[in-house]
Amino acid sequence: MDDFIISAEEAAANIGMNPKTLRQRLRDERPPGARQFPPQHGGNWFLRPSYVEQLAAERGRRIPKPPAPPAIPPIPTHLPTVEKPGLRPVPVRTVANPSHGIWSEWIPFDDALKVAPRFPGVYMFRIAAESHRGPVYIGMAGERKGNGLRGRLAIYASGKGAGSGLGEHAFDRALEDPIWLQARLDEALAGTPMRAKEAARSAIDHAGLEVRWQTLETRAQALQVEAQLINEFRHQLWNR
């Protein structure tokens, strides 16, 4: 994707614009400073830094220039690999987008849906207050009707992931905390009990989680990387 390195969501956050409004403008104008990948309905938009600066100037804003994208090694004739800090290389067939195969920064789960990409990929959760322990849960997301990782994380945010390894373990931890339990009891006694989904999300929040991810091109690649990572960290994971 050449130098189209800024997602529409990131650009919208930088220039103070509604992401839906920005994506609609990109669909209507198809500017040379933006590309859709894949180039079809539901594809993700990526922008050149210079175009983001242009949009910012239109709105009277100035934004710092983003760092140069990480160098991608030449793809050899044999199966290439994508390096991840502290982990063994994972085979990947192509790297069509500069961001594929590169870990994001750790961010609080509450902020994840604002910036999570819509590509397939893998993700890790860790407890923010116990970051030295490393990841406690590893999962993957396929295309999910064009929503990718964002769609998967949205399940946890909605409380629908209570039966997953992450949701169940977070619930177990919350149920061990008398303060959390007392708050739920007080709500019930007041006639305003939490619904199951709300309680599941509350348990996720109670765990104080951070998340990071790396995007990949296909669901098959995400499954492959997920399996390796689970094997790498299996002694400490909540995965069931």
Tell me the pLDDT tens digit for each residue of 89-102: 444 444 456 568 88
pLDDT average, residue stretch 25-30: 89
Spatial CA neighbour of 39 closest among 75, 80, 4: 4
What is the Cα gyration radius of the chain? 20
At 178 the pLDDT is 93
Is the model more confident about 118 or about 75? 118
Provide the 3-class DSSP secondary structure of residue 39. Answer: coil
Buried b / exposed e across 85-100, counting CB within 10 Å, b at 16+? eeeeebebeebebbbb
Q: Which tokens go with 215?
A: 């995007």
Check residue 65 and give its pLDDT: 53
d(CA 68, CA 21): 27
The confidence band for 42, taking pLDDT boundaries of 50, 70 and 90, is low
Share of the chain above pLDDT 70, in %: 81
pLDDT tier for residue 16 given thresholds of 50, 70 and 90: confident
When the pLDDT of each residue in the chain is averaged and rounded to a whole number, the result is 80
pLDDT of residue 66: 44
Please check whether residue 45 is in contact with residue 7, taking contact to mean a CB–CB distance below 8 angstroms.
yes
Tokens of 76: 């050899």
Question: Strands 87-91 and 81-84, how do they pair?
Answer: antiparallel
The SS3 assignment for 96 reads coil
Average pLDDT over residues 191-206: 89
Greatest alpha-carbon pair distance for the chain in Å reads 67
Name the one residue in this structure whose structure tokens are 């007041």. Answer: 190
Does the structure show a pLDDT above 70 at 135? yes
Q: What global pTM score does this model have?
A: 0.58
Q: Say how many CA atoms lie within 13 Å of 167 toward its Cβ.
A: 19
pLDDT for residue 76 is more than 70: no
Mean pLDDT lowest for which of 4-8, 201-205, 212-216, 222-226? 4-8
Q: pLDDT at position 212, please? A: 93
Q: What is the pLDDT of residue 40?
A: 67
